[in-house]
Amino acid sequence: MREKIFWITSSQRCPDGDIIYAQGSGLRIRVCRLNGYSWIPTPREVQLYCLIGDEMLAFETIAIKPDDARDMAGAVRWYATYHGSDETLIYTQQPQLAHNYLQDRSHIL
């Protein structure tokens, strides 16, 4: 099986954010830092969340296609590893309070 290749560019929409691209597919993921910024999820897009260091990040697809969804968790894991966090938990719902990051494991992939 061939390993996916991802790359990053800066995001215009999210302050200090990035966009992840997957080679060989149309997958694009917007990365938004949630600490200190207001962010509203886009309807009909897929969102995942993870804590890298002490910063909660939102990962949201851009114009998702059905074939792209299966690569999203791998892209989030790649991004976390790229930023030095090999053991990142990925959430399917945005944790509301800081203590939920470690206590509530019902939404972890």
pLDDT of 7 reads: 87
Q: What tens digit of pLDDT does each residue of 79-93 get?
A: 999 988 888 888 888
Query: Which stretches in the chain have pLDDT values below 50?
Result: 1, 97-99
Q: What is the pTM of this model?
A: 0.80
In this structure, what are the phi and psi dihedrals at residue 78, rounded to the nearest 5 degrees? -60, -45
Task: Decide: residue 19, CB within 10 A, 0-12 exposed, 13-18 middle, 19+ buried.
Answer: middle
